[in-house]
Amino acid sequence: MTKSPLQIARAQYAPKLPKSLRNNSVVIVDGEKTQSVADQADIEKLFPHTYGMPLLSFEGSDASVELPVANVGVILSGGQAPGGHNVISGIFDGLKKLNPNNKLYGFLGGPGGLVDHKYMELTADVIDEYRNTGGFDIIGSGRTKLEETWQFDKGVEICKELDINAVVIIGGDDSNTNACVLAEYYLEQNTGVQVIGCPKTIDGDLKNDMIETSFGFDTACKVYSELIGNIMRDANSAKKYWHFIKLMGRSASHIGLECALQTQPNICLISEEVAEKKQTLGAVVTEMANVIAKRAANGENFGVALIPEGLIEFIPEMKTLISELNDLLAEGHDSANEFKATPKADRLEWVANHLSDASSVVFRSLPAGIATQLTLDRDPHGNVQVSKIETEKLLIEMVEVKLAEMKEAGSYAGSFSSQNHFFGYEGRCAAPSNFDADYCYSIGFTASVLIAQGKTGYMSSVRNTTAPAEEWIAGGVPVTMMMNMERRHGHMKPVIQKALVELDGKPFLAFAAKRDEWAEMTSFVYPGPIQYWGPSEVCDLTTKTLIEERK
Ligand code: FBP
């Protein structure tokens, strides 16, 4: 592999660990017994062996202890997030410190690797190639869900064959939910295989009192903010375009909010607020058009608007429309066959005529391109692929129509020329920032300690992350503590509660206090690229979200 100069130099970076992990060994301190965030009786019943375990924190010790050999298997699950390779190198270094004969295996291509028995041993040579790099390519990732007993049993088979005592699952809320079910099952079956989770996702929606942030969020937001800042400077130089930028992040708007706090755009929509205010698509468009008109009145026919990926699903009328479309066009339904038999040119009209009156009005108000996307771009189950809907283009088209109406009515006299962008994949595999490099390495190292101490059903936790790394608090949190019951595919299931943007939370309030000023004035901030070397106040910065939350 030909390496870039940055990659070569960055390989030498020694990630910073919390003080407790720098000592010869670690003593585990049991904290309070825990309860799930909600539905305690149901969760306890479903997880009799792993429910109610205590919080754990680590203290460093000078005693040198060599523990018995423990082989570990690691899985990368779901979307890529910067720092995954450092979690793995943290696990590796932690295991080798505990006993040089410990081995680390990587299951290939995500959770499916455990089931299909596809794996490789991760030796020092392999690990060294990937230290401090972005991507999940060391072993690959995948989205197979570990939900069925036969999958768990296949997992045990390979663990027995390789003498694996523990499996570490690096994933988001769903993957860690499955990790918890796996831990419970392995304990109940007395398999001797422990399961530890690590909190991953650029979306930032796997967090709670004990998990301050999921890894990758920091780097991804820094990459997007750099790009947004560059676009802002371009907009402010040419003064002729409005840039509508959709940001990845699935349902939650954490990425949009963080990028807004870093760059101070003219508009940033927050899906959770749109839902809370029960805004219609028309109301969102009017709000945007009003900002554009206000800036035009000041002679500023340019600006930047940030749009979270999940917006569409949070607009109540769109949610209803999407659900009606899912029913109408579901694979195998008579209506879906009728739709397919309808000549292409008549299909939109056919759909409009088969929706409820309210949804039909919304559907007819959509630009034809988006309406077509909603009816034709479907996943294998016939569901609308919400994340593929080009919301940024939809909003541009609707804002154009609104501005034309306003011009007609005399309330707008500017010019509107637009550019659209989608930032997502370009941030998911960036070389991890110092924060993510350190945080991930610490999370991985922590996982190795939890394993050595025989723990299972825990998520690796590193807290106090706005302090210097030395003061970070490493430990473990029972995954059952994060769970509640939710309806999924028609059944109540135990799942980790997804963290959406809290409208009474400090990050949102900090944004809300400034957004009117940012809308009217040009207050852009240009964060520039991630810095890996240089003054700590530049290189070791955490996200604004974390800083606000911990104020
Ligand atoms: P995870 O939840 O698995 O971390 O994935 C995050 C994410 O990047 C979302 O922001 C995005 O909607 C999705 O993955 C895209 O998935 P895919 O890589 O399958 O296109």
Which H or E element spans position 498? none
DSSP letter at 520 equals H
**205, 498 Cβ separation under 8 angstroms:** yes
Angle between helices 84-98 and 434-452 (to 10 degrees): 40
pLDDT tens-digit readout, 332-371: 788 888 988 999 889 999 999 999 999 999 999 998 888 9
Cβ-contact 88, 130 below 8 angstroms: yes
What does the pLDDT read at residue 301? 98
The reply to whether 16-216+432-488 and 217-428+505-549 are identical in fold is yes
Rounded distance, CA 88 to CA 519, Å?
43
Which token pair is 523? Answer: 């207050």
Q: Rounded CA gap, 462 and 472, in Å?
A: 6
pLDDT at 380 over 70: no
What average pLDDT does range 205-230 have in this prediction?
97
Residue 271 Cα to ligand 1 midpoint, Å, equals 17
Find the 331 Cα to ligand 1 centroid distance in Å: 24
Kindly write down the DSSP assignment for every residue of 83-111, as one continuous string: THHHHHHHHHHHHHHH-TT--EEEETTST
Nearest CA to ligand 1 atom 19: 79
**How far is 259 from 523, CA to CA, in rounded Å?**
14
pLDDT at 232 over 80: yes
Helix, coil or strand: residue 30 = strand
Nearest C-alpha to atom 7 of ligand 1 is from which residue? 79
Nearest CA to ligand 1 atom 20: 79
Q: Where are the domains of the chain?
A: 16-216+432-488, 217-428+505-549
pLDDT, one tens digit per residue, over 258-303 is 999 999 999 999 999 999 999 999 999 999 999 999 999 999 999 9
pLDDT band at 385 (very low <50, low <70, confident <90, very high): confident
Q: Which atom of ligand 1 is nearest to the CA of 428?
A: 8
**Is 314 within 8 Å of 272 (Cβ atoms)?**
yes
pLDDT score at 386: 76
Q: Looking at ligand 1, which atom is closest to the CA of residue 77?
A: 3
Sorting pLDDT into bands at 50, 70 and 90, what band is 327? Answer: confident
Instruction: Decide if pLDDT at 489 tops 80.
Output: no
Q: Ligand 1 mean position to 255 CA, how many Å?
A: 13
- Residue with the nearest Cα to atom 11 of ligand 1? 250
In the set 93, 173, 174, 203, the catalytic residue is 203
Residues 274, 251: Cα–Cα separation, whole Å: 12
Q: Rounded distance, CA 334 to CA 410, Å?
A: 49
CA-closest candidate to residue 479, choices 226, 173, 193, 191: 173
**Ligand 1 neighbours (beta carbon < 6 A):** 78-79, 81, 172, 201-203, 248-250, 309, 387, 428
What is the reported pLDDT for 156?
Answer: 98
Return the residue whose CA atom lies nearest to atom 14 of ligand 1: 79
The yes or no reply on domain 217-428+505-549 and CATH 3.40.50.460 is: yes
Answer whether residue 450 shows pLDDT above 90.
yes
DSSP one-letter code for 209: S
ipTM: 0.97
Q: Which residues of 32-68 are buried (b: 16+ CB within 10 A; e: fewer)?
A: eebebbebeeebeebbeebbbbbbbbbeeeeeeeebe
Mutate to test the pocket of ligand 1, among 87, 143, 176, 203 (most ligand atoms within 8 A of CB): 203
CA angle centred on 479, ends 476 and 483, rounded to 5°: 145
Helices (H) and strands (E) in the chain, counts: 23, 15
How do residues 129-179 score in pLDDT, each as one tens digit? 999 999 999 999 999 999 999 999 999 999 999 999 999 999 999 999 999
Q: Name the pLDDT band for 382 (thresholds 50, 70, 90).
A: low
Measuring CA to CA, which residue among 247, 309, 304 is closest to residue 526? Answer: 304
Q: Is residue 383 scored above 90 in pLDDT?
A: no
Given ligand 1 and candidates 205, 207, 250, which is best to mutate, with the most ligand atoms within 8 Å of its CB? 250
Distance 323 CA to ligand 1 centre (A): 21
Q: Grade residue 42 by pLDDT with cuts at 50, 70 and 90.
A: very high
138: its two tokens: 């060391």
Name the DSSP class of 77: B
Counting atoms of ligand 1 from 1, which one is nearest the CA of 200?
Answer: 4
- Ligand 1 centre distance from Cα of residue 285 (Å): 27
Q: What is 387-401 written as a DSSP string?
A: GGS-HHHHHHHHHHH
Q: State in Å: Cα 135 to ligand 1 middle.
A: 13
Q: Candidates 144, 170, 202: which one to mutate for ligand 1, based on the most atoms within 8 Å of Cβ?
A: 202
Rg (CA), the chain: 25
Q: Is the pLDDT of residue 544 over 90?
A: yes
Closest atom, ligand 1, to C-alpha of 203: 10
Cβ atoms 28, 453 nearer than 8 A: yes
Residue whose Cα lies nearest atom 17 of ligand 1: it is: 79
Quick check: pTM over 0.90?
Answer: yes
8 A C-beta contact, residue 242 and residue 417: yes
Report the nearest atom of ligand 1 relative to the CA of 80. Answer: 4
Place of tokens 């409208």: 503
Average pLDDT rounded to a whole number, residues 190-200: 98
Q: In Å, how far from its chain's centre is CA 78?
A: 10
Q: Looking at ligand 1, which residue's alpha carbon is closest to its atom 8?
A: 79
Distance between Cα 79 and ligand 1 center (Å): 5
Does the annotation mark 203 as catalytic?
yes
**CATH class, 16-216+432-488 region:** alpha beta
Inter-CA distances, 56 with 72, 191, 460, 484, Å: 21, 23, 10, 21
How far from 455 is each of 7, 49, 54, 458, 461, CA to CA, in Å?
35, 12, 11, 7, 13
Spatial strand order in the sheet of 242-247 = 267-268, 303-308, 242-247, 418-423
Looking at every residue in the chain, the average pLDDT score rounds to 95
Q: Cα of 428 to ligand 1 centre, how many Å?
A: 9
Q: What is the pLDDT of residue 381?
A: 63
pLDDT at residue 384 is higher than 80: no
Whole-number percent of the chain with pLDDT over 70:
99
Give the C-alpha separation, 72 to 125, whole Å. Answer: 17
